Structure formats: structure tokens, C-alpha cells
Amino acid sequence: MNLQQIRHNDTLREKLASEYVLGTLRGGARRRFESWLRDDAALQRSVAEWQDRLNPMVEFAAPAAPSPQVWQAIEKQLDLRSVRINQSRKSFWLGLREDLAFWRGLGMASTALAAILITVLLTRLPEPGVAPTSYVATLSDDKAQPVMVITGDTKRRQLTVKVVTQQQVAADKSLELWAVPKEGAPRSLGLVAANGTVTLPLPENATPESVPVLAISLEPKGGSPNPNAPSGPVIYKGAWLQI
């Protein structure tokens, strides 16, 4: 792969730009991309556009410390227990645990990887009578655990919300889906169930070009009394991507 190939392949350029912004493009591939980025204005614009699409997620990211299980898994994978760690390395890993930006980025990357996996499955395993998918989002909780998968079909103008992790919602509460645009107030897309699958209308103005993020809030029974914003906490969110 070289810069000329990227310049003449819009799909490849967008794919690499999105992976670069999410942090899933790593190692030599990332360094090579950065060298191209310095000399290519179109590539710079693609990266800037993806940053604009994903930046709204930061507004919903609640501070969260990694659990002891996460740190234990890191220690096991890196074999830190069996080697003597000098003070500088110890300071590095302690700083990493406390770096909120790192964990936010990890959650975003996990969401993107889950969306990519779902996209591959939907593409490779089509079922008779199933509507083609144009958009996809994986909504995760504050621990970056996937909770819901949302797909959008532009031909049938419908959203399909599928719960992948069973949720417990009090009888006097409802879950409400919101489109979070680049500018302006969030827009309600309807109520969703805590389990199973729900189908909702797909508005014309709910495309990833104008709405980079979808979110779920916990509301009083029947939904938010404020039509222009959630009244309760935002508990799940994810990037709304075109596929």
C-alpha cells in the first residue's frame, strides 16, 4: 500500500483515517500513515472530519477507574509479577491506570471493533428477508461493555435496536434513544426495550453525516418530559457509522 493508492481510493482513505482517530491503527501502519498525513491535504481533511464525528462522545464519557480485574489481566499478560520492575516503569504503569484519556480511547476502540465485527457478520451471513444495513452503532456502558447494537436501513427507513446484554430497568423507568447531532440539541428517536429487539422509524436527519453519536438515557416512564434533551442520566452511547 502506498500514498497514491490511498489518494485514489476514498473508501480506503476513510477506513484508515477512522482507525487512526480511534487509535486502532498501530505500530508500523500508524507511523506510515502519519508520514503520509504530513504531505496530503485530503488525508488531513479526512482525519479532521473523523475527529469532529467522534469528539461528541467525550461529552458523554463519565470518569471511570479500571477495575482490579483489568489491572490483574494487564499484569498477567505482561508477566509483570515474574520480573523486577524499576521505579520508572512502575510510575509509567501507575500513570497509565490513572490516565482517563487512555481509558476513554480504549472504550471508543472497543466500540469500533465491535461495530466492525457486527458489520462483517451481517455482510457475510445474510438471511433471507433481512433488510440490508446502511448504518451501525454499538452502544456501550461506562465500562466499555457493549449493551445494544443499532442498525439503520435507509431503504425501509427503519432502525433496529437489539439488546446484546440483558438489562434491568425499574417499572417506573424507560430507556430513550437519542440522536446527538454535531450542532444543536439532541433529538429523541423513541423508547427502546431493556431486552429483545425493537424497530423504530429512521428519520431523514439521523444519518452519520449529521449525527455522529447515538445515546440511551434513563428516563421516567414514558420518556423524557423535555423533548429537546434527556432529563435523566445518559447510560449508554456509541458512534453512529456508515457501512
Domain coordinates in residue numbering, the chain = 3-54, 129-242
Best CA proximity match to 152, nearest among 190, 201, 215? 201
Mean pLDDT of 35-58: 79
Of residues 33 and 9, more confidence is placed in 33
Mean pLDDT lowest among 30-44, 97-111, 194-208, 229-243: 97-111
**71 contact partners, CB below 8 Å, separation of at least 6:** 97
Residue 162 predicted with pLDDT over 90: yes
What is the pTM (predicted TM-score) of this model? 0.51
Q: What percent of the chain has pLDDT over 70?
A: 66
- The average pLDDT across 101-111 equals 48
Least confident of 26-35, 89-98, 135-144: 89-98
pLDDT on residue 166: 85
In angstroms, the Cα distances linking 169 to 145, 166, 233, 236, 237 are: 17, 10, 13, 13, 17
More confident residue, 44 or 118: 44
Q: Kindly report the number of other CB atoms within 10 A of residue 87's CB atom.
A: 7
Q: Could you tell me which residue, 28 or 75, shows the higher pLDDT?
A: 28
Q: What is the pLDDT of residue 59?
A: 52
* Percentage of the chain lying above the pLDDT 90 cut: 27
Cell of 85: 520492575
β partners of residue 149: 138, 162
Condensed to tens digits (0 to 9), the pLDDT of residues 133-158 reads 689 999 998 888 889 999 999 999 99
Question: What is the average pLDDT value for the chain, to the nearest integer?
Answer: 76
The pLDDT, as a whole number, for residue 80 is 55
Give residue 54's identity as a one-letter amino acid code: L
- Given a cut of 50, whether residue 43 has pLDDT beyond it is yes
